[in-house]
A and B are shown apart, each in its own frame.
Chain A
Amino acid sequence: MASHKILVLGLGNTILGDDGVGIRVVREMRRLWAGDPSVELVEASLGGMVLLDLITGFDKVIVVDAIMAEDRKPAGFVYDLSLDDLGALVVPYASHALDLKTTIELGRRLGYKMPATVAIHAVKIEENTLFTEELSPTVAAVVPLLAKRIIQDLDGPHS
């Protein structure tokens, strides 16, 4: 489907350790994969309204990011989420707090082309407040596995 445009968006901050796992996964994909003309790989340390600029015009967006969750899953566990799995921040406390779901809804209301499908691969992490460019060993081990999984999904039939 030549006209089907997909964005793989790795979000994170590479100077805050495991917070940067999303970007690391996208970099690994670049290293492993020859690519596809209908797929764009983007790394971003961005938040708020700027996300709107990045996702406009795509049919599907695959987000790779870190997540902190209060469950018993170990660090490195990958949650496969949809937008509905994320709540919406109804009343932001600051302009830095705009979330992906509200951003997409905003884009739709303004008439921008928003992705029909958003898939989120969220890697569980336990620490993101220490300045370091290193991933923890557990999270680092997940990077090539998740990169390969996404590549396999992309090389299959596009949805």
Chain B
Amino acid sequence: MGKKLSINPVTRLEGHGKIEIFLDDQGDVEDAYFQVTELRGFERFCIGRPVEEMPRIVPNICGVCPTPHNMASTKAVDKVYGVEPTITAKLIRQLQYNAFYVEDHFIHFFFLAAPDFVVGPDANPGERNILGVIQKVGMEIAGKVIEVRKRCRDILRLLGSKAPHPEGGLPGGVSRGISEEERAIIKETADYAVEFSKFALQLFKNVVVRNPKYLDLVLDDAYNLNTYYMGMVDDNKCVNFYDGNLRVVNPEGKERALFDPQFYTDHIAEWVEPWTYIRLTYLKVLGWQGLKEGFGSSLYRVGPLARLNASKGMATPEAQAEYEEMYAVLGNKPAHHTLAFHWARLIEALQAAEDMQRIAGDPLLTSKDIRNMNLRLTKKGVGCVEAARGTLIHHYETDDRGLLTKANLIVATQHNAAPICLSVKKAAKAFIKGGEAKEGLLNMVEMAFRAYDPCLGCATHTLPGKMPLEIVLRDREGNVVDRIGRDV
């Protein structure tokens, strides 16, 4: 019987995250674990603060995606004050959110996915990055990526006053309205975003889907993981990023739960494992079943592919057509192919862009009725949105003066942490054999990780002084066999 190894997380992570891969006596992969830096004391930091301060504070949780935190927080404060935002306020909030989605999804695709699929997973690491992508696709396309990003950021700046750290999240509404002149600019940006989204999807299909080698990679069992899926849906059970119920489907696609996010604690529970600081989540009704997939698992995934899997379709027509094409190629719904997160991400960007067009055309967008002031302190609120990476929950409770007594967050990377371990393990088992872990092989493992685009301690801005993500290979006794250099 081999030696049982326990990993002590007390040793501080040097960077933001770590993947530890354990090899058996033959040098094949036995297990893999994913650790993240723990940010401590959030609740204690928040307690005693006026709850309406939270939308201003929480964007600091993530320096790259502050908008989802601001939005979830604002919605939680709506609930704490028992107030429903006006129709115009909701339109403006959704506009802001869609603009963020378009920008964020494209940055992910062109910076993370494209290097592997456009430049190639076997290419020299020095080329497998955004600079290599530009080299391959040309400056014109690169310029379009930057342009769509700039236009969306201009909208965020318009609506949030201090892009990208949004301000202006108020209970019951928003802090500024939209003029007719601004509507015209928004429409122009929305049209540009729709056209670029369609172009990006076509690029993906040409480069990946129509390339048998890459399609085989997407469909490869190394990147297949059978889990439950969770995502936010509207009244028609179509994908919605801003508001709705949370829907959970099982690995065969049958609806397992449909619930108001206010009752998330009835459906989602947290589990503590000794080898990671992150509290893993699982479906409460099934109980913690460990790190396993398929039948008997209680794990679920969130994020782009999960949202599409958990829904009955997209909410906009062109995105719906792309959704149908994707599932026809992948062969099943739900699709369990982790690399298809990249495809789903582009379809979501198209929906966000189409929805911007819808909002730009809504007569109520320029109404002056931007705030509902019927505030009534209820002392509890849960705000839930679909952050780009997955479901984001902010839960606040207050005393009779509206000062916080409790604050709990569940972020997307937390929902996906256990599945990330499994995805990394499966990819590692497929590509690391006999103790051999060449750079190219390790990149194949990292591709499983990058598909989730996890958020690892990006609240910190400290220059790391060492690698922000470390991959460590250990033998059966826990001795380090190799470390993967991602020096900064």
B405 CB contacts on chain A under 8 angstroms: none
Would you give the 0/1 interface string for A71-94, flagging 1 where the beta carbon is closer than 8 Å to chain B? 000000000000000111111111
Given A45-B63, A106-B131, A128 contacting B41 (CB threshold 8 A): no
A19 to B60, CA, bound (A): 12
Q: Which of B121-129, B186-194, B238-246, B356-364 contacts A (4 or more CB under 8 A)?
A: B121-129
Counting CB contacts under 8 A, is A35 at the interface? no
B44 CB contacts on chain A under 8 angstroms: 131
A106 to B130, CA, bound (A): 8
Q: Which of A48, A70, A89 is within 8 Å of B64, CB to CB?
A: A48
Q: Which of A14, A96, A109 is within 8 Å of B131, CB to CB?
A: A109
Q: Which of B38, B65, B129, B465 is within 8 Å of A90, CB to CB?
A: B129
**Nearest CB of chain A from residue B486's CB, rounded to whole Å:** 7
Q: Which of B40, B62, B443, B462 is within 8 Å of A68, CB to CB?
A: B462
Contact B45 A94 (CB under 8 A): no
Contact B464 A93 (CB under 8 A): no
A89 to B126, CA, bound (A): 10
* SS class, residues of chain A in contact with chain B: loop
Counting CB contacts under 8 A, is B111 at the interface? yes
Contact A49 B125 (CB under 8 A): no
A65 CB contacts on chain B under 8 angstroms: 461-463
A89 to B16, CA, bound (A): 14
Q: Which of B229-237, B258-266, B279-287, B449-457 contacts A (4 or more CB under 8 A)?
A: B449-457
Considering residues B165, B443, B458, B462, which has the most beta carbons from chain A within 10 angstroms of its beta carbon? B462
Contact B125 A96 (CB under 8 A): no
A52 to B460, CA, bound (A): 18
A13 to B59, CA, bound (A): 10
Given A86-B488, A90-B128, A97 contacting B468 (CB threshold 8 A): yes
Question: Nearest chain-A residue to B59 (Cβ)?
Answer: A45
**Nearest CB of chain A from residue B88's CB, rounded to whole Å:** 28
Contact A11 B461 (CB under 8 A): yes
Q: Which of B71-79, B142-150, B298-306 contacts A (4 or more CB under 8 A)?
A: B142-150
Contact B465 A68 (CB under 8 A): yes
B143 CB contacts on chain A under 8 angstroms: 110
Contact B63 A93 (CB under 8 A): no
A46 CB contacts on chain B under 8 angstroms: 63-64, 164-165, 461
The residues in B between 30 and 62 inclusive whose CB is less than 8 angstroms from any CB of A are: 37-42, 44-45, 57, 59-60, 62
B139 CB contacts on chain A under 8 angstroms: 109-111
Counting CB contacts under 8 A, is B115 at the interface? yes
A3 CB contacts on chain B under 8 angstroms: none
Q: Which of B37, B60, B115, B131 is within 8 Å of A13, CB to CB?
A: B60
**Nearest CB of chain A from residue B388's CB, rounded to whole Å:** 9
The residues in B between 1 and 35 inclusive whose CB is less than 8 angstroms from any CB of A are: 14, 16-17
Taking beta carbons and an 8 Å cutoff, which residues of A are in contact with B?
11-16, 19, 22, 45-50, 53, 65-70, 86-99, 102, 105-106, 109-111, 120, 122, 125, 128-132
Q: Show 24 A/B contacts (Cβ-Cβ < 8 Å), sorted by A.
A: A11-B461, A13-B461, A16-B60, A16-B459, A16-B460, A50-B64, A66-B463, A90-B126, A91-B115, A91-B129, A93-B454, A93-B469, A94-B469, A95-B104, A96-B453, A96-B456, A97-B469, A102-B129, A120-B463, A129-B37, A129-B40, A130-B39, A130-B40, A131-B44
